Amino acid sequence: MKEIILAKYGEIALKGLNKNTFEDLLIKNIKRRLKPLGNFDYVRQQSTIYIQSADENADLDMVMDKLATVFGVAAICKAAVLEKDFEKICSGVYEYLEDTLTYARTFKVEAKRADKRFPMKSPEICMELGGRLLEKFPHLKVDVKNPEITVTVEIRDTNAYVHAVKIQGAGGLPVGSSGKAMLLVSGGIDSPVAGYMMAKRGIHISAVHFVSPPYTSERARIKVEQLCEKLTGYCGNIAFFCVPFTEIQEAIKDNCPEEYFTIIMRRLMMEIAQKLADKDDCLALITGESVGQVASQTLKAIACTDAVCRMPVFRPLIGMDKTEIVAISRKIDTFDISIQPYEDCCTVFTPKHPKTKPSVEEIENAQNAFDFSEMIKKAIEETEMKLIKL
């Protein structure tokens, strides 16, 4: 029996005149993700992408796993391809879903009659097929509210499709449909989750990381690269920028009041990240900040950081607590890497009593006591870039 995969749209189905642009990008992203698994044919129709393998021995379960991480796909299912004849549909359901229905206790039938030329209407298909299934599998009972199995019959233009097991997709919008942004990634739990959440809104991610040898180790950098590798499964290829930050941090320590160290450091990071973002055609920055989580993430501290920003700063975790953030990090498989005990530069020269309610004026006065411009320029010139591939 011929079997294909149906990838259902999410938000894209609600788009207007630009819907084709989103569809084209989604198919492009799917093709890139499935390329290592073989050759596939793609047809898009009625808010669904029909994916058929050219290889009879293709591992469709692996294909389903890959599709589940593609933003823009709301649901995925394997389906039998049948002729648009009710008797053949019934026979196909018996054969294709025999194992599933044998071990189920309750079921219902749903029908979607996109081809209005089909002689039976959707309620008739549900009623007739449901009756046939009760005769064929007498242990089954109908439960229209909470069935174990939902047998779905879709009558489309060319064929009928039958399926019963649907997997939830990643949702959101296709990566790349909303432009490009630079993620400040530290190596902790928060920033990879922030990158994931903005990629879900269609943003293509680049990443910038700051290193301060000898205060931070090579293992800390490797850890961050591993986090980016995990994100490529959702975000696609990531341009990774590694900025040498030791000289700047030592200058902050030597020339600025201790209680302002962290905020001034973050302001200078933002300055550098913006300049790299401009070079990489990014339109915004992304951070993993959450209000009140640490001293540099109070409202006043964030305002001081934002005062140096010339482009939007997205903070998708801003209203989340740590439990919610950790749950997502486990879902995307970054948590175990994030908790590896390799310190990043944000922990270097941490003040004993950081200022939690600074004003922009006092921070600017403290920062302007030393000219960091040449150090910023040098750090950008010595930044290393590598492409972390999917």
- Could you read off the pLDDT of 185-227 as tens digits, one per residue? 988 999 999 999 999 999 999 999 999 999 888 999 999 999 9
Residue 349's pLDDT is: 74
pLDDT digit string, tens, across residues 149-192? 999 999 988 899 999 988 999 999 999 999 999 999 988 999 99
Q: How confident is the model at residue 378 (pLDDT cuts 50, 70, 90)?
A: very high
Residue 357's pLDDT is: 87
Residue 25's pLDDT is: 94
Residue 332's pLDDT is: 95
More confident site: 260 or 56: 260
Backbone angles phi, psi at 290, to 5 degrees: -135, 130
Residue 296's pLDDT is: 78
pLDDT digit string, tens, across residues 116-138? 999 999 999 999 999 999 999 99
Instruction: For residues 354 and 261, give the distance between their C-alpha atoms in angstroms, rounded to a whole number.
Output: 8
> Percent of the chain, pLDDT > 70?
100
Residue 343's pLDDT is: 76
Residue 345's pLDDT is: 74
Half-sphere exposure at residue 356, Cβ-oriented, CA atoms within 13 angstroms: 8
Cβ(165)–Cβ(175) below 8 Å: no
Residue 56, pLDDT above cutoff 90:
no
For residues 33-43, average pLDDT: 90
3-state SS track over the chain: CCEEEEEEECHHHHCCCCHHHHHHHHHHHHHHHHHHHCCEEEEEECCEEEEEECCCCCCHHHHHHHHCCCCCEEEEEEEEEECCCHHHHHHHHHHHCHHHHHCCCEEEEEEEECCCCCCCCHHHHHHHHHHHHHHHCCCCEECCCCCCEEEEEEECCCCEEEECCEEECCCCECCCCCCEEEEECCCCCHHHHHHHHHHCECCEEEEEEEECCCCCCHHHHHHHHHHHHHHHHHHCCEEEEEEECHHHHHHHHHHCCHHHHHHHHHHHHHHHHHHHHHHCCCCEEECCCCCCCCHHHCHHHHHHHHCCCCCCEECCCCCCCHHHHHHHHHHCCCHHHHCCCCCCHHHCCCCCCCCCCCCHHHHHHHHCCCCCHHHHHHHHHCCEEEEECC
- Would you say the C-alpha torsion 217, 221, 226, 227 has a positive or negative sign? positive
pLDDT digit string, tens, across residues 331-371? 999 999 999 987 777 777 777 777 788 899 999 999 998 99
Residue 350's pLDDT is: 78
* Token digits of residue 132: 């046939």
Residue 228, pLDDT above cutoff 90:
yes
For residues 46-68, average pLDDT: 88
pLDDT digit string, tens, across residues 286-338? 999 998 888 778 899 999 999 999 999 999 999 999 999 999 999 999 999 99
Residue 7, pLDDT above cutoff 90:
yes
Residue 335's pLDDT is: 95
Listed range (88-97, 255-264, 319-328) with the worst mean pLDDT: 255-264
| pLDDT averaged over every residue in the chain | 92
Q: How confident is the model at residue 109 (pLDDT cuts 50, 70, 90)?
A: very high
Residue type for position 275? K
